[in-house]
Amino acid sequence: MGEVHVGEDVAPREESNPLFQPLELGPKPFHLSHRIVLAPLTRMRSYGRVPQPHAILYYSQRTTPGGLLITEATGVSPSSDGYPHTPGIYTEEQVEAWKPIVKAVHDKGGIFFAQLWHVGRMSHTSYQPNGAPPPSSTNKRIQGDGVTLTDGSFQPFSEPKAIETLEIPTYVQYFVHSAKQSIAAGFDGIEIHGAHGYLLDQFMKDGVNDRTDQYGGSLENRCRFPLEIVDAVVAAIGRERVGIRLSPFADFGEAYDSDPVALGTYMAEQLNDRGIAYVHYTEPRMRAAGELETTPHTVWPFRKAFKGTFLSCGGYNREEGINAVKSGKADAIVYGRLFLSNPDLPKRFKLNAPLNKYDRSTFYTEDPVVGYTDYPFLEEVTPAPHL
């Protein structure tokens, strides 16, 4: 099936809009009423690594009956942090804090997955227990950019320490424990963050992974650690509750690969064999945070390799989302910045209504309202008609 040209002026009738066709998600399916998914968006408003009450409103605002939401990236262990005020789910206090947030989404009929991450070398010793080096697949430090510390200062990334072969099972269990904790908090499932230069990506990408053990070298070896995590989490909570996010083409955190098509295809084939709920791929055009590039590459090779539910993200607008679903390139489209700034995005897409503009300066502030829960709904910005 050929790819539909994107960018043309498409305004289908509501009943013909592919974004509003129901979708069965996963092998024991969750029944989605539409295909507009809330992306996992780091917002840095979980003080002390504990989700806060203001997140109840934030997520419930973006919930629709039968809509899928994915949480902001959520830490699996004390060593998983690399940003200020991101949440975790490895302690009982964190689980209890997530419960009312999950309940608010479920009360409005939403389906809620927790995204689980470990940042690996994209961190600083000040974030690590006892000031230890950040763990990674390698001892190579990220040369560019840097990391924002909790005190607001900006520092170079710390030199990491390659995880020892015998330590790998400990890191697998971090994900297993947090997956179980997520189910205990009431989540419907979890998404393993295997993208965007974080720990799992640091193992998969040959531009980072310089190991000589069974977790380095060949493509199969580099993918071994992420797949061990998938297998262990599936065994713990069930395959129907497990998704994974991947970004073979992205180079966040200097995580490059010499053959991203082969990497992404191999992972799709392996995950296809495991029958998980979904895969979530970042479009190749989204190589760096918030920046779109012109590229001939797409997620089509990965879509063709994976026979289950396929989610795609990466700067989609309404028309591009419609065309991607219509063409079969994706089953559902994951929206980030547009959903952040339009809590009623499905309604606006259904009506082809104007969108709020997002304010990038408030994406990562600590304010519990401004740039977080104060974006207006459509009825708050549309004048009432004269009677």
3-state SS, one letter per residue, for 60-129: HHCCCCCCEEECCCEECCHHHCCCCCCCECCCHHHHHHHHHHHHHHHHCCCEEEEEEECCCCCCCHHHCH
* Annotation says 198 is catalytic: yes
Q: Which of 59, 198, 215, 281 is catalytic?
A: 198
Burial of 113 (0-12, 13-18, 19+ CB in 10 A): buried
Are 151 and 131 in contact by the 8 Å Cβ rule? The answer is no
The set of residues, in sequence order, having a beta carbon less than 8 Å from that of 38 and lying 6+ positions away, is 59, 62, 67, 68, 69, 70, 334, 335, 339
14-17 contacts at long range (C-beta below 8 A, 24 or more positions apart): 14/350, 14/351, 17/322, 17/349, 17/350
Q: How far apart are CA 105 and CA 54, in angstroms?
A: 13
Nearest to 88 by CA among 137, 37, 132, 127: 127
Cβ neighbours, 10 Å, residue 293:
13
CA distance between the termini of the chain: 50
DSSP 283-319: -TTEEETTEE---S--SHHHHHH--SEEEEESS--HH
Are 88 and 94 in contact by the 8 Å Cβ rule? The answer is yes
For residue 318, how far is the Cα from the chain centroid? 19
The residues assigned a catalytic role are 198
